């Protein structure tokens, strides 16, 4: 089975500043080193899907600048179809500054740029692409209204939709009704439901709240602990693989991209796909950077031996 995955999302050039520890308010510190790499939640998820052998296409927008050309080439280098990436002549390509400390924890500041300037009418040009997809993924680094239009189209054609509500915010009316699976982390889930995630019982309560909000299928990722899942038929917890994390950047995105490469459209193999996704993200956190850290299907398979 080879999934056809379409990602509607963000394209950012990441600048990572490597520091000993996070600065306190008002404190000036020195960075030990600086690296630049291709990133953005959308790009990370698409590359993760492509490296796990999904046939992957991207819907997005870059600025008319060198950073935009750099981002498009980065996706093409992984065999991703970039025909539906538009060029915005008014806004620059998205960017992010990442503070990464010696414990592998990060803080991220994002400039939306061309990502946030995407318009819902762009989706009409993508109908043929969405129509033939198995899975459509989107997150919140691009406007929700664009995602809503794309998800409505996807549901019309029986395409499975996955929403990664990150960074967490209020969700526009109607979007959850056309979402098949929502994948927040524990902080995002608590933001959206108002119920703090501390244990399995609280995750069950989050699932009940999401069901009332109109979404039946849920995965909550809880970092190095693992991932909780809930569907109308089943629920459970898949523990994470224990590794020493160097950099958690793109771990959640790797998880979602890798998951989409394995997941059946009816979600019937969700637990098996979750184990694969956990293994993929456990490799990502042992490496530095966003796109450079995302593993291939062979690396994930080798890890399972």
β-strands 4-8, 12-18: how paired? Answer: unpaired
Position 108 in a domain: no
Angle CA 142–252–14, to nearest 5: 60
Per-residue pLDDT, 244 = 86
Position 250 in a domain: yes
Please give the order of strands across the beta sheet that includes 12-18: 33-39, 12-18, 94-100, 106-111
pTM of the model: 0.93
Residue 14 assigned as binding residue? yes
| Mean pLDDT to the nearest integer, 71-89 | 98
Residue 293 assigned as binding residue? yes
| Mean pLDDT to the nearest integer, 156-170 | 94
Residue 13 assigned as binding residue? yes
Position 293 in a domain: yes
Residue 225 assigned as binding residue? yes
Residue 247 assigned as binding residue? yes
* DSSP bridge partners of 95: 13, 111
Phi, psi of 51 (to 5 degrees): -70, -15
For 13-57, what is each residue's pLDDT tens digit? 989 899 999 999 999 999 999 988 899 999 999 999 999 999 999
* Confidence check: pLDDT of 248 > 90: no
* Confidence check: pLDDT of 76 > 90: yes
For the chain, the domain total comes to 1
* DSSP bridge partners of 14: 37, 96
| Mean pLDDT to the nearest integer, 72-84 | 98
| Mean pLDDT to the nearest integer, 101-118 | 91
Phi, psi of 17 (to 5 degrees): -100, 120
For 197-242, what is each residue's pLDDT tens digit? 999 999 999 999 999 999 999 999 998 889 999 999 999 999 989 8
175-212 burial string, b = 16+ CB within 10 Å, else e?
bbebbbbbbbbbbbbbbbbebebeeeebbeebbebbee
Per cent of the chain over pLDDT 90 is 85
Is residue 41 within a helix (H) or strand (E), and if so which, with residue range?
A: helix 41-51
Grade residue 257 by pLDDT with cuts at 50, 70 and 90: very high
Give the CA distances from residue 116 to residues 99, 140, 142, 176, 284, in Å, rounded to whole numbers and listed in that order.
Answer: 22, 9, 5, 20, 27
Position 260 in a domain: yes
* Catalytic one of 234, 253, 266, 302: 253
Is residue 77 within a helix (H) or strand (E), and if so which, with residue range?
A: helix 66-77
Position 261 in a domain: yes
Active site residue 134: no
Position 72 in a domain: no
d(CA 168, CA 192): 7
Per-residue pLDDT, 30 = 96
d(CA 59, CA 62): 10
Helix (H, G, I), strand (E, B) or coil at 255: helix
Per the structure, the complete domain to which residue 169 belongs is given by: 4-10+41-59+118-303
Q: What is the mean pLDDT of the chain?
A: 94
Position 90 in a domain: no
For position 299, which CATH number holds?
3.40.1190.20
Residues in the chain: 305
Give the CA distances from residue 57 to residues 11, 12, 125, 288, in Å, rounded to whole numbers and listed in that order.
Answer: 13, 17, 14, 25
d(CA 151, CA 103): 38
| Mean pLDDT to the nearest integer, 110-121 | 96
Asked if 207 contacts 218 with a C-beta cutoff of 8 angstroms, the reply is yes
d(CA 73, CA 27): 38
Helix (H, G, I), strand (E, B) or coil at 107: strand
Per-residue pLDDT, 103 = 86
Position 78 in a domain: no
Rg (CA), the chain: 18
| Mean pLDDT to the nearest integer, 249-264 | 95
């Amino acid at each position: 089975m080879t999934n056809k995955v379409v990602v509607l999302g963000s394209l950012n050039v990441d600048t990572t500043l490597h520091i000993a520890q996070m600065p306190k308010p008002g404190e000036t510190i020195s960075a030990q080193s600086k690296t630049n790499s291709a990133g953005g939640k959308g790009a990370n998820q698409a590359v993760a899907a492509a490296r796990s052998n999904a046939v992957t296409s991207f819907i997005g927008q870059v600025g008319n600048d060198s950073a935009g050309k750099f981002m498009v080439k980065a996706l093409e280098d992984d065999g991703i179809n970039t025909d539906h990436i538009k060029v915005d002549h008014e806004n620059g390509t998205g960017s992010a500054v990442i503070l990464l400390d010696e414990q592998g924890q990060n803080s991220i500041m994002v400039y939306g740029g061309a990502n946030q300037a995407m318009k819902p009418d762009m989706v009409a040009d993508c109908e043929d692409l969405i129509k033939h997809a198995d899975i459509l993924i989107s997150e919140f680094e691009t406007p929700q209204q664009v995602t809503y239009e794309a998800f409505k189209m996807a549901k019309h054609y029986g395409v499975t939709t996955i929403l990664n509500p990150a960074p967490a915010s209020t969700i526009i009316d109607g979007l959850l009704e056309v979402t098949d699976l929502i994948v927040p982390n524990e902080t995002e889930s608590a933001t959206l439901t108002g119920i703090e995630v501390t244990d399995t019982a609280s995750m069950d309560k989050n699932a009940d709240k999401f069901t009332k909000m109109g979404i039946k299928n849920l995965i909550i990722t809880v970092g190095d602990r693992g991932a909780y899942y809930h569907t109308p038929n089943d629920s459970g917890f898949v523990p994470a693989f224990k590794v020493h994390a160097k950099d958690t950047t793109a771990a959640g995105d790797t998880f979602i991209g890798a998951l989409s490469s394995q997941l059946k459209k009816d979600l019937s193999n969700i637990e098996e796909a979750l184990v694969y996704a956990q293994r993929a993200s456990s490799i990502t956190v042992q490496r530095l950077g966003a796109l450079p850290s995302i593993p291939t299907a062979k690396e994930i398979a080798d890890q399972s031996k």
